[in-house]
Amino acid sequence: MLRNYLKIAVRNLLRHKGFSFINIAGLTLGLTACLLIGLFVHDEKQFDKFLPGGDQIYRIYIERTSHEGTENSAGTPPMFTTTLQQEYPEVAETLRILRIPSKDLFEAGDKKLYEEGGIAPDSTFFDFFPLAFTHGSPVKALQDPNSIVLSQKMAERYFGPENPVGKIILFNKALFTVKGVFKENPKFHLSLNFVVPLASQQIPKERMASWGWQQFYSYVKLKKEVNSRAVEAKFQKLIKEKVHPLLKDGGMTYLPFLQPLHQVHLYSADFKFDLLVIKGNSTYVNALSLVALFILLIACFNFVNLATAKSLQRAKEVGVRKAIGASRQQLMGQFISETMLLTFISIFISGVLTSLALPWLNSFTGKQITFNLLTQPMFLLLLLALNGVVGILAGFYPALVLSGFKPVKVLKGTVVPDSLPGQIPWLRHGLVVVQFSLSVLLIISALIVINQVDYLHQKDLGFNKEEIMFFPMRGDNMSQNHEAFKNELLQTPGVSSVSIGYGFPGDMFAGDEIIVPRNGEQKAQSVTQLMVDHDYIKTLGLQVVAGRDFSKSIKTDADAAYIINETAVTSLGFETPQKALGQPLWWKTWANQDSLKKGKIIGVVKDFHYKSLYDKIEPAVLQIYPDAYWKVAVKVKTAGLENTLAQVKNAWSKFSPEYPLEYNFLDENFNQMYQADDKLKSLLSLFTLVTIFVACLGLFGLAAYAAERRRKEIGIRKVLGASMNQIAFLLSKDFIKLVGIALLIASPIAWYCMDKWLQDFAYRITLSWEVFVAAGLLAILIALLTVSFQAIKAAAVNPVDSLRSE
């Protein structure tokens, strides 16, 4: 019997080649999109799963609260782990990791390169996270302060394929001995190139006893069967009692939370100071999962519509089979078998297409996803299960309709319609409404995402980020003679301006307290500290809205002058920029916390976005403080850029010949901030197009079904004088109504979802009715183009052919 079913299925596929192609193409495209998204989502959820005992490990993060609001930060004080280890019996182990934020110079043999992705953890790092070693041993690999462990790729860059253990490598001119080489694991949440002991950083003991210096990643491993929420609550209570009184004058408090290790990758997208973590985004992963589900449902609905549209051509076959004794169950088995065959063909082709498209997906996402049914039997079982689920889901309703035809009526040439006269075929229309509701939802979402991402790149940031060359100073000679270096750069014809400082837009910043003396009291408030020189405002093109810029001719500016942004005016309680001028500010210098830099506000600059548009502009204080200078911003002219870069390199070599120059441009920093959003925009646009195409195939099937059902009606209307346009309108209007209903259903859902997504951005577009109108018009246009083909085709048929059987 099964053999007979397969024979008939193959014959039907070959007899209706065009229709079979459309049906298979829809399923194949939908399944390919689902497989690609599914592989991506599965990969995103595998991070840190390889670590033994990972379900007992938690990362500590803090929720900081100030007058500016609440934010999550991955940076924690060093005393967190010290206290947990000493005072909490529920804790098995703790780990501190100090991030090495800058690129550092490494030298071995004739190789001299800058490397990033370095950390300085406690010596127990490889006990906590047992990464695989290709050379050396993790045991006591970090006991010696001058030891270093390299990633496999970094080791090969400097030492080739040979074993580097025991060899010397220079790290910022200091000698370090290679103790081991670890194999990079793409599913580890930290992106590492090298590891040096925390002891190598020579941090003073009093600094390591700080509750306010938040530069560490902190991890805790709890004992088995310990309730993490109970430990979290207990630790929060301690912080409130012991630490909050120390912070009350700063206007900022924080509370610690325990984040399960398996959630670090996907649930840290909004964390601040989390630069080394390979970040995913649970919102984007869930959104793509929904898109995959939408596409799969639409592909199944398509099959239902396309199969029922061809049901009339198989009515007599059903009648004959029933007349010679075939039961309804046998007929349903036959038609579901045909669907399973068609689904199997689609899955086979989609598997091939997935393998071909996977290199592109890996390149686009920076992943190493594999898809091999021989080495990954789980995927093979999944595809077989998918074949059964999709085959039954897509084939059940057509089988039910076809097997329900009455043999007496179909053999007489009449078929009982799937709805009684005057009734609406709710199921079929419902499928179209659902299809286009999902399609319109994706169209609206894609348009809003595209507009928001374009807004991120195009919004006026309050400064000029174009044509600014950006690099750190290297070596003691350059740092000690930075003014001479600056003057050397200014001699270059292609250089317009130069600024040296700490705290350029898109780069690292310092958060610190500023003291506002008022009415005999000293009110301390947390602000962003930008350590600048006299040309910072000029180089970035900031706008002074009150007062003046720093001036070299006024000597007190270097020691007793501050400039603030507009947000700081309000935050510090000065009401207006004009009223802020001349107001006193004090600051405890970094070089000596007992020394106060007492000065006055000499100017106010217009707010500018020195962070991404995910973050609100915070109060910022600009001051001249040469001890913190480490980055150089060079404003260059577009004309003769290559010659200018060569001359900048020559100036560099005069002051720091032992260090190679490595630079980037300031606008690149901001473009990198929105890489995840750019990828979401591209993926959502691509899969929206796929969804629309697959949905159109379903609409095409329904139009074909309607044209077939109303063939004789169309013939009679033409005989009575109806024009081709009138008949095309007759067949199209019902579908336009369905698309209109879909628009009404999808619009509020899309508004709710996208409004929630936009709330992640401090600065965002406004949801406007134009987007929804544009999406609706686009959906109607797509539907008209799809339906009009079948409508015109039906209207063009000779009525004699339609009425001949009468």
Q: Are residues 167 and 79 in the same domain?
A: yes
Q: Are residues 12 and 65 in the same domain?
A: no
Please report which confidence band the pLDDT of residue 15 belongs to, taking 50, 70 and 90 as the band edges: low
pLDDT at 547: 94
Residue 276 lies in a domain: no
Q: What is the pLDDT of residues 112-156, one digit of tens each?
A: 999 989 999 999 999 999 999 999 999 889 999 999 999 999 999
Cα 767 to Cα 322: distance, rounded to the nearest angstrom: 58
Q: Are residues 514 and 451 in the same domain?
A: no
Say if residue 2 is exposed, middle or buried (CB neighbours under 10 Å; 0-12, 13-18, 19+): exposed
CB 23 within 8 A of CB 349: no
CB 564 within 8 A of CB 622: yes
Residue 461 lies in a domain: no
pLDDT at 536: 95
pLDDT at 612: 85
Residue 438 lies in a domain: yes
pLDDT at 423: 43
Q: Are residues 83 and 135 in the same domain?
A: yes
Residues above pLDDT 70, as percent of the chain: 87
Q: Are residues 356 and 429 in the same domain?
A: yes
pLDDT at 8: 66
**When comparing pLDDT for 704 and 533, which is higher?**
533
Residue 474 lies in a domain: yes
- pLDDT tops 50 at residue 798: yes
> Distance between the two ends of the chain, CA-based, in angstroms?
38
Q: Are residues 250 and 309 in the same domain?
A: no
Residue 143 lies in a domain: yes
Q: Are residues 524 and 413 in the same domain?
A: no
Enter the tokens of residue 679. Answer: 């990828």
- pLDDT tops 90 at residue 171: yes
Cα 637 to Cα 217: distance, rounded to the nearest angstrom: 41
Number of structural domains in the chain: 3
Read off the pLDDT of each residue in 207-213 and give the average, rounded to a whole number: 84
Mean pLDDT of the chain: 84
Q: What is the pLDDT of residues 553-569, one digit of tens each?
A: 998 998 899 999 999 99
Query: 716: domain range?
Result: 2-41+282-455+675-803
Indicate the residue among 216, 235, 263 that finishes a domain. 263
pLDDT at 799: 65
Which of 166-170, 254-258, 316-320, 452-456 comes out lowest in average pLDDT?
316-320
pLDDT at 331: 72
Residue 47 lies in a domain: no
Q: Are residues 15 and 146 in the same domain?
A: no
Read off the pLDDT of each residue in 169-197 and give the average, rounded to a whole number: 94
Cα 599 to Cα 597: distance, rounded to the nearest angstrom: 6
Read off the pLDDT of each residue in 307-326 and give the average, rounded to a whole number: 67
The one-letter code for the residue type at 653 is S
Q: Are residues 135 and 25 in the same domain?
A: no
Task: Tell me the CA distances in angstroms from 217 to 88, 99, 131, 186, 221, one per residue in order.
Answer: 19, 8, 18, 20, 14
Indicate the residue among 628, 645, 667 that finishes a domain. 667
pLDDT at 341: 79
Residue 556 lies in a domain: yes
Please report which confidence band the pLDDT of residue 422 belongs to, taking 50, 70 and 90 as the band edges: very low
What is the per-residue DSSP string for 765-795?
Answer: PPP-HHHHHHHHHHHHHHHHHHHHHHHHHHH
Q: Are residues 663 and 683 in the same domain?
A: no
**Phi/psi at 623 (nearest 5 deg)?**
-150, 160
Please report which confidence band the pLDDT of residue 421 belongs to, taking 50, 70 and 90 as the band edges: very low
Q: Are residues 663 and 752 in the same domain?
A: no
Residue 93 lies in a domain: yes
Q: What is the pLDDT of residues 381-390, one digit of tens each?
A: 877 887 777 7
Q: Are residues 473 and 450 in the same domain?
A: no
Cα 431 to Cα 34: distance, rounded to the nearest angstrom: 20
Please report which confidence band the pLDDT of residue 535 belongs to, taking 50, 70 and 90 as the band edges: very high
Cα 260 to Cα 254: distance, rounded to the nearest angstrom: 19
What is the per-residue DSSP string for 218-261?
Answer: EEEEEPTT--HHHHHHHHHHHHHHHTHHHHGGGTEEEEEEEEEG
The model carries a pTM of 0.81
**When comparing pLDDT for 186 and 416, which is higher?**
186
Q: In the beta sheet, which residues pair with residue 119?
A: 99, 195
Instruction: With both helix axes pointing from N to C terminus, report the angle between 17-44 and 377-403 in degrees, rounded to the nearest 10.
Output: 140
Sign, CA dihedral 352-356-357-358, equals: positive
**Phi/psi at 259 (nearest 5 deg)?**
-105, 120
Indicate the residue among 646, 667, 688 that finishes a domain. 667
